Amino acid sequence: MPRRSAETPDATPGAAASRSTIADVARVAGVSKATVSRFLNRRDELLTRDIAARVEAAIAELGYSPSPMAQALKRGRTRLIGLVVADVTNPFSVAVLRGAEQACQEAGYLVMLFNLGNQAARELEAIEALSSYQVEGFILNTLGSDPAALAAATRLGKPVVLVDRRHAGMQSDFVSLDNAGAVLLAAGHLAEQGHGELLFISEPTAGVSSRQERAQAFQAFLATHDGHSGHSGQLQGSLFECDEQHPQALDAALLAARQRAGSRRLGVLASNAVVTLRVAAALARLGWHFGEELGFVGFDETEWAPHVGPGLSAIAQPTGDLGRIAARCLLERLQGHQLPPRQTLLPGRLIVRGSSRKV
């Protein structure tokens, strides 16, 4: 079948108006494909002025743009970055995504997103799907529970940057909030505001590194201050993992903590926004109020934090920067820089609202 001539508008619905190719441009310009290709890739060197002009005109006339697919096939470079996210519903992940996307776009890369929908089992699948599309590197914000996934990526020789969550035995670059510092910031603030009994509430750790780090930092904080008497006498605290399935267990944990507190004030630290919402639900069931029966600080700043109760104090993560830095980190490796695995830790910012202020 002869190629459809370029002049034919081809209004036939359904019959995709086949994109014009480099061959079409060459024919219209009356030159060879090689010349067109040269014009495109190394337009400055070795080109007669009038030939360059003709090629340029032909490209404009046909609205030609090269096929990244074919280019990828030939060059082995796709200018594609694979971004795997545990859950797009998570605002933290989305914020990171935005930062990464922006940095990639500036560098002429396109981001291919794969959403796990919190199914850890799909982690390997994601990496394979993405790498079959020849993405040049990965940004991973996943559970990190499947070692095979990370192995697959490195086996393929593709650089990986991990965000927020480490993977077991990883050799990759890593970008994250300074969890230890952030916990200190929050717990210190609660103590300073006169909360003598602290409760750290987390999702089930389930091997997620950031959750572990935050819990450990909290324990370290307690150990440091144990025996010391703070602003309101003895400082003590405990940890609780709140399971989605058993909300009443959270209620019980809160009641128990209040009991332990006695005359001291109870301060609660929620390890992320999901936990914050669960705590809010628990308070509603108990008839408690933020800033009254308990002081509160939660990880992750959200748009709704100012409007719940007296305003929820929060640890804001530099999400955009995390994404941007992760992307830049990856892009540097793509340039071929041989560097040892780097870790970048960014500080959190405490935003104080009514929920944690001394009455």
Q: Does 248 bind a second copy (CB under 8 A)?
A: no
Alpha helices in 42-159 (DSSP H): 49-62, 68-75, 91-106, 122-132, 147-155
344: tokens are 């970048």
Q: Which of 46/345 has CB closer to DNA?
A: 46
The pair phi, psi for residue 192, each rounded to 5°, is -60, -30
Considering only the stretches 27-35, 206-214, 298-306, 344-352, report the one whose residues sit in contact with a second copy under the rule CB under 8 A: 298-306
- DSSP readout, 214-271? HHHHHHHHHHHHSSSEEBTEE-EEEEEEPPTT-HHHHHHHHHHHHHHHTTSEEEEEES
Minimum distance, C-beta of residue 114 to a second copy, in the bound complex (Å): 8
Q: Which of 52/266 has CB closer to DNA?
A: 52
Buried b (16+ CB within 10 A) or exposed e, 226-245: eeeebebeebbbbbbbbeee
Q: Which of residues 9-38 bind DNA (CB under 7 A)?
A: 18-19, 21-23, 30-35, 37-38
The closest alpha carbon to 48, from 37, 39, 59, belongs to: 39
Q: Does 65 bind a second copy (CB under 8 A)?
A: yes
31: tokens are 């030159």
Q: Which of 57/73 has CB closer to a second copy?
A: 73
Q: Tell me the per-residue interface mask from 114 to 153 with a second copy, x by CB under 8 A, - otherwise.
A: -x-x----------xx--xxx-------------------
Instruction: Give the count of residues interacting with a second copy (CB under 8 A).
Output: 53
Contact yes or no for 264/250 (Cβ under 8 A): no
Q: Which residues contact 8 (CB under 8 A, 6 or more apart)?
A: none
Q: Does 312 bind DNA (CB under 7 A)?
A: no
The pair phi, psi for residue 300, each rounded to 5°, is 80, 115
Q: Which of residues 2-41 bind a second copy (CB under 8 A)?
A: 13-17, 19
Could you list the residues that contact a second copy (CB under 8 A)? 13-17, 19, 65-70, 72-73, 76, 78, 88-89, 91, 94-95, 97-98, 101-102, 110-113, 115, 117, 128-129, 132-134, 155-158, 277, 280-281, 284, 302-304, 306-309, 336, 338
Positions in the binding site for DNA (CB under 7 A):
3, 18-19, 21-23, 30-35, 37-38, 40-41, 46-48, 51-52, 64-67, 70-71, 73-75
